[in-house]
């Protein structure tokens, strides 16, 4: 039996601008995504077997532990790619909020692919890993690569940007999750679609080592904001906060110790930008 522990960081969207709708139903985007030091952890065990078994467990009651979980799909696709059968046990130690716009599911799936590649003695190169990630979702490639990333197409095409640093505070309504499908559909139904080109402006600011705060922007916040009092309350309390991804998490680029919101909101303090993606440690062979 082989075991490995995988560290899977969350991301926030510093910008998220929608370019257009694609023929396949997805949207082309321009987004600057930033990894932060909020992590899920995967404990992956690999056992020899003549048939494929993928067994998921974990500490969260908010996610499924069956074939519908992106981690399960990632493990299955990896085994198919390398043409192997095995028993794989994965324990998901969840700390990233669910349905929050923080890529919790995507980073766990990317971590599964990376971790299994280590356990099987790296049969796939980085390009192969990114190819599997792109098949599974829009944010996996960003999570695999890490740091500060420009993501285009539907999010799977990535370009590394110079590393930047900042404190971060997250604010999430505890009882509100917004699916990507809902957010993108509501954006598509908007008659007016602003074009502020904040992504290009932020890239210029990053390249010239200037403050990025004035360029924070999210088209999906514009799409869903008027439908949820919980989001409006965050914005009223913290006017410079911005929604991440499809929500419902907001963030502010400072370490805010005191936020006058009630217990219906989860506040995560003391976070920072990080310049890495998925990492592995504690490789054990028995």
Q: Which residues are annotated as catalytic?
A: 11, 139
Any idea how long the chain is? 286
- Burial class, 75, CB count within 10 angstroms (exposed 0-12 / middle 13-18 / buried 19+): buried
User: Alpha helices of the chain — where are they, by DSSP H?
Assistant: 70-82, 104-119, 126-136, 140-145, 180-188, 198-207, 219-224, 229-237
Q: How far is CA 144 from CA 9, 70, 122, 272, 280, in A?
A: 9, 14, 15, 18, 11
**C-alpha angle 223-95-180 in degrees, rounded to nearest 5:** 20
**Which pair of structure tokens corresponds to residue 15?**
């910008």
d(C-alpha 192, C-alpha 190), whole Å: 5
What dihedral do alpha carbons 114, 117, 121, 123 form, nearest 10°?
A: -130
**Which pair of structure tokens corresponds to residue 25?**
């139903």
Placement of tokens 């600011």 in the chain:
205
**How many other C-beta atoms can be found within 10 angstroms of the C-beta atom of residue 85?**
11
């Amino acid at each position: 039996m082989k075991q490995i522990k995988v560290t899977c960081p969350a991301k926030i969207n510093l910008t998220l601008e929608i370019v257009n709708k694609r023929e396949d139903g997805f949207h082309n985007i321009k987004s600057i995504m930033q990894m932060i030091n909020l992590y899920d952890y995967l404990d992956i065990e690999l056992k020899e077997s003549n048939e494929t078994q993928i067994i998921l467990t974990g500490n969260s009651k908010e996610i499924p532990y069956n074939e519908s979980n992106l981690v399960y799909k990632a493990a299955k696709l990896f085994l198919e790619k390398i043409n192997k059968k095995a028993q794989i046990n994965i324990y998901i130690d969840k700390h990233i909020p669910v349905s929050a716009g923080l890529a919790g599911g995507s980073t766990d799936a990317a971590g599964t692919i990376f971790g299994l590649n280590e356990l099987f003695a790296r049969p796939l190169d980085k390009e192969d890993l990114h190819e599997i990630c792109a098949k599974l979702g829009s944010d996996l490639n960003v999570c695999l690569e890490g740091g500060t990333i420009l993501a285009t197409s539907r999010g799977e095409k990535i370009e590394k940007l110079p590393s930047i640093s900042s404190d971060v505070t997250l604010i999430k309504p505890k009882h509100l999750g917004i699916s990507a499908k809902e957010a993108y559909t509501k954006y598509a139904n908007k008659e007016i679609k602003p074009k502020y080109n904040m992504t290009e402006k932020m890239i210029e600011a990053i390249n010239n080592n200037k403050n990025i705060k004035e360029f924070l922007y999210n088209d999906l916040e514009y799409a869903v904001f008027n439908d949820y009092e919980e989001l409006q309350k965050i914005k009223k309390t913290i006017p410079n906060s911005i929604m991440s991804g499809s929500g419902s998490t907001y963030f502010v680029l400072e370490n805010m110790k005191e936020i006058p919101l009630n217990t219906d909101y989860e506040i995560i303090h003391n976070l920072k930008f990080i310049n890495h993606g998925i990492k592995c440690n504690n490789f054990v062979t028995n």
